Structure 1
Amino acid sequence: MTTSILTSFMMIIWLAVKQVRTDCLNDTSTESTFVYRRVCYFANWAAKRYDNISRLTPEDIDPFLCTHINFAFGKVLESLVIAPYEEDDLKGWTASSKGMYERVLKLKEANPDLRVLLSVGGWTHASRGFNEVSKNAANIKTFVKNSVKFLRDNKFDGLDLDWEYPGAKDQGAEPHSKTGYTKLVKKLSRVFQREAERTGQEKLLLTCATAAARHRIEAGYEVEEVCKYFDFVSVMTYDYHGSWDGKTGHNSPLYAMRNERKKFREWNINSSMLVWVELGCPKEKLNIGLSAYGRAFSVFGETGMTNGKPAPKKKSSIGMKASAAEAGKYTREAGVLAYYEICELIQNNPNNRVFWHRDMSVPYVSSKALWIGFDNIRSVTLKMQFLKEHGYGGVIIWSLDLDDKTGEVCHEGPFPIFNAAKRELSILPEHLVHTKNKKCSDINATITVEHLRSKTTTIKTS
């Protein structure tokens, strides 16, 4: 390298370093730029409930409660397009009223940092439409093109894929679905990026809601590959147990229960998240899942017999024969109770006592006839501490309408479950505090340049 070229090269580096230093000195902000994701689901049917306690409209939502809102749901049609689920999603019931999309997006006027995504699919949607979309490259290309237009036309900030699940034969997934899902995700990511570069608009986000059980993860996802293309991945770490088991079990344990059967040993948040990490997904891209509802059981009267005598009731009462509990008077789904419905049951009947499971770090209600596995402020706080300690990127919560929106039922303030998560996640670990200013910490450092003749040139930055 000639002296003149080396001198020019050093001058370019010096100017670049001086610019970084100037940027640092001119930056007077002390606010941290790191924010844990709080992804909240808005269920479009919740606004149609008849009573005020359970009905949730977009206007009831605190615009600062979440960093992202996923509008649930949109449909994926076999004609390779996204379509609204409800008639009032696009337009209101009257000529002068606004559609539900527009009403949710209006929250961004108060909080411009909020991002609203359309979540497509869901459990009852299963693999319908997704099978056709992911079948071949031509179908994927057409669907992606149609999706960009639908999202932009309706002013969404991104797409949340909630296919439950690729690879799941019991949910109608076809043999090509695992590899087809990967191809779909790649194409969506690349087209979203190119579209943003071409138009100058903010890039559409690409996210997903995914399985928590190992057998579903391994059957449906090429984990390491798809995680390269998603902006973040939300693991639905709830519904581990329910009335379908025929016995009591917690909806969303943080850890395994001691001496738990091998089949269920990984059915907890800690284990599910480790499966995703083990298979190659970066921790910072992963969100853990919370539910603002509990799984409720009617416990059978008999305790069983041992050597001709009644068997003692299990200390934790987990694993007792049970069926779905009676539907709540507001949400009206057997075996499921919203958080505010659980609060009412505890307040109205002293026999519905709340216990704490030390192994699993979660509460449960247990009485002679009723058993409920749920989350409260204490367990949510512990789960958020777990999230931070293990380096995960955020949380998803299903869903806004199932929390106590006004605080008048549980007497814990508005949206107590969501706000418990927000409070704990706003307390950043020491290594993330004031990350914005860390670029200035070594302002008087030196930079060493190794050039072709193995000589060392040192450039002072001050």
Structure 2
Amino acid sequence: WFSIVRMKLLTAIVLLATTLTLSESVMVCYYGSWAVYRNGKGKFDVEDIDPFLCTHIVFGFAGLGSDNKVRVLDPYNELCENYGKCAYDRFTALKKQNPNLVTTLAVGGWNEGSASYSKMAADPAARATFADSVLEMLNAHDFDGLDFDWEYPTQRGGNPEDKVNFVILMSELKKALHGDGKILTAAVSAGKATIDAAYDVPGFADTVDYIHVMAYDLHGAWDKYTHHHTILYQYPEDEGDNIYLNVDYAIQYWLSMGAPAHKLVLGTATYGRCWRLDDTSDTGMYAPASSPGSPGPYTYSPGFLGYNEICEHDLTSPWTIVNEPVMNEPYIYDLSFGNTWCSYDSPDSIITKALYAKDNGLAGMMVWSIETDDFLAECHSRPSILIRNMHEAFSGESLTTLPPPITTTRDPLDPTDPPTTVTFPTASPGEHCAYPGNNPDPYDCSFFYQCVYDGTGYIEYIVYCSEGALFNPITFICDYDYAVCALGDEYCPANCPL
């Protein structure tokens, strides 16, 4: 009897502690781990994360294996085994600098697609296997919780039953994670059509601690006209389904469908969506633009520029900046940069979004992603100006600026241990692995080779990109197919032109 009472008391204490933590305003920052492979000043590793900038940081991404277990997508970077770089452990070790920091692991993402998650969610045994593997992974690397990023139930190869099965899966994950003192969050769509098809909002909302509304990518080069991808309010010329594609509509719709305000986190972007103007005399909203804008020097993805790329470009080739009175956010263009036109959030417009979230009683703000902000303060007096501004505006508190990080690649060993130098073999003719990590196929970009060095040679895995995506041989990740094909015909002859 005493043991039962003691267990209930401990459970109550854990739940109380969780409630107290969740009642505070949150600043959720996603970390795209592939930024470690970027060039020059765009390279961003775990040690570049300011552990006091955000309240929650999310490591993106892990995936789902064919065995229904969590799958590590880049073992060389993320694990310590086989001479790996231990990114998971280094990431959660940021809590040593800030004990209040919450570190979680995101599973899913756009590149993962939907079909495998749909199949897993429909099978009770597969769901149990997945939940067990989640707990095992989180505990092995000291993560504080899971961020589930299924994009999206019922969509992209999913099934109509996903809407019900998603709630069942999330309920089981909640039971498993909360029972172990961990949190459960989810990243969700801001589009009305997807919300209607994918989510039983009241049932789903009951399963999670926070709902990260991805209120960005509302427009992009997949449209053949310019528009703002994070626009706060409806643009006067919007009609048809475009009247739903704005931040305000998305948040109010989630609220009207039964999502509690205290669980909603407004997602924003530290990047722009860009187009190549068809007519240089037409540079406004809804201008014809049939192809993606020029790529940046770090992300190298046509149609996409990190805020760091946008602001650094302005230092040498100034953008024409347009602030329409009917819009909160600016847009820019530079006819000398391949007629590129971009929509993005500025340090000022991001404050307005944070105040909007605060006025609507939301839990806080979220950003994708920490590594495309001006983290080196190349353009502003303070690093990570977008995240810093939105965090301070929502919380009402000033953040301390930390000194530049000490550069290091890993510290898995005791400091007294001598360093170990590992020389990786060059691939022999006919082999596909030239280095650890993701390697491109020279002809077909619908898949890539994931290469793990085991001390004597490479273990090779073939990984397919999801529908609508191709492997970008420059950035080493799956990207939108139109963006990869825009790099040039020499990269993916089997897939481009589309």
What is the TM-score with the length of structure 2 in the denominator?
A: 0.72
CA contact (8 A) 1:38 1:68 kept: yes
CA contact (8 A) 2:365 2:391 kept: no
Q: What are the ranges of 5 or more consecutive residues in structure 1 without an aligned counterpart?
A: 1-31, 197-202, 304-312, 429-462
**Residues of 1 paired with 2:333 and 2:35: CA distance?**
29
Q: Which has the larger radius of gyration?
A: 1
Q: 205, 208, 223: which is aligned to 2:183?
A: 205
Residue 84, structure 1, aligned to residue 99, structure 2: no
| Map of 1:137 onto structure 2 | 124
| Map of 2:30 onto structure 1 | 41
**Residues of 2 paired with 1:227 and 1:264: CA distance?**
26
- Trace 1:285-364 onto structure 2 (pairs within 5 A): 285-301=263-279, 313=282, 316-350=284-318, 352-364=319-331
**Residues of 2 paired with 1:120 and 1:234: CA distance?**
14
Secondary structure of 2:125's partner? helix
CA contact (8 A) 2:30 2:370 kept: yes
Q: Which amino acid aligns with 1:48?
A: Y
Q: Which amino acid aligns with 2:176?
A: V
| Map of 1:152 onto structure 2 | 139
CA contact (8 A) 1:317 1:366 kept: no
Q: Which amino acid aligns with 2:96?
A: E
CA contact (8 A) 2:103 2:144 kept: yes
CA contact (8 A) 1:286 1:394 kept: yes
Deviations 1:250-273 (A, max 9, x none): 110011111311310111110001
**Residues of 1 paired with 2:134 and 2:277: CA distance?**
47
Deviations 1:429-458 (A, max 9, x none): xxxxxxxxxxxxxxxxxxxxxxxxxxxxxx
Q: What are the ranges of 5 or more consecutive residues in structure 2 without an aligned counterpart?
A: 1-20, 398-498
Deviations 1:408-439 (A, max 9, x none): 2x1242111111112212217xxxxxxxxxxx
Q: Which amino acid aligns with 2:116?
A: G
CA drift at 1:302:
6.5
Secondary structure of 2:196's partner? helix
| Map of 1:260 onto structure 2 | 238
Secondary structure of 2:112's partner? coil
| Map of 1:3 onto structure 2 | none
CA drift at 1:34:
5.7
CA drift at 1:141:
2.0
| Map of 2:348 onto structure 1 | 378
After superposing the two structures, state which structure 1 stretch, 82-91 or 104-113, moved more: 82-91
Q: Which amino acid aligns with 2:393?
A: E
After superposing the two structures, state which structure 1 stretch, 318-327 or 269-278, moved more: 318-327
- Trace 1:351-430 onto structure 2 (pairs within 5 A): 352-368=319-335, 369-408=339-378, 410-427=379-396
**Residues of 2 paired with 1:128 and 1:68: CA distance?**
29
| Map of 2:442 onto structure 1 | none
CA contact (8 A) 2:231 2:327 kept: yes
**Residues of 1 paired with 2:383 and 2:243: CA distance?**
35
After superposing the two structures, state which structure 1 stretch, 288-297 or 173-182, moved more: 173-182
CA contact (8 A) 2:22 2:209 kept: no
- Trace 1:427-442 onto structure 2 (pairs within 5 A): 427=396
**Residues of 2 paired with 1:225 and 1:33: CA distance?**
19
| Map of 1:445 onto structure 2 | none
| Map of 1:4 onto structure 2 | none
Secondary structure of 1:88's partner? helix
Count matched residues: 374
Q: Cα gap change, 1:206/1:270 in structure 2, threshold over 3 Å: closer, same or farther? A: same
Deviations 1:3-44 (A, max 9, x none): xxxxxxxxxxxxxxxxxxxxxxxxxxxxx9963211101111
| Map of 2:49 onto structure 1 | 61
**Residues of 1 paired with 2:212 and 2:310: CA distance?**
26
Secondary structure of 1:254's partner? coil
| Map of 2:95 onto structure 1 | 108
Q: Cα gap change, 1:259/1:91 in structure 2, threshold over 3 Å: closer, same or farther? A: closer
Q: 218, 229, 235: which is aligned to 2:207?
A: 229
CA drift at 1:90:
4.1
CA contact (8 A) 2:145 2:177 kept: no
| Map of 2:176 onto structure 1 | 191
Residue 239, structure 1, aligned to residue 217, structure 2: yes
**Residues of 1 paired with 2:113 and 2:27: CA distance?**
25
Q: Cα gap change, 1:338/1:149 in structure 2, threshold over 3 Å: closer, same or farther? A: same
Deviations 1:258-300 (A, max 9, x none): 1311310111110001111111100110011111100111101
Q: Cα gap change, 1:321/1:104 in structure 2, threshold over 3 Å: closer, same or farther? A: same
Q: Which amino acid aligns with 1:359?
A: V
CA contact (8 A) 2:332 2:341 kept: yes
CA drift at 1:370:
2.4
**Residues of 2 paired with 1:302 and 1:62: CA distance?**
41
CA contact (8 A) 1:256 1:359 kept: no
| Map of 2:3 onto structure 1 | none
| Map of 1:163 onto structure 2 | 150
Q: Which amino acid aligns with 1:393?
A: A
Secondary structure of 1:372's partner? strand
State the identity %. 30
CA drift at 1:242:
0.6
**Residues of 1 paired with 2:291 and 2:177: CA distance?**
46
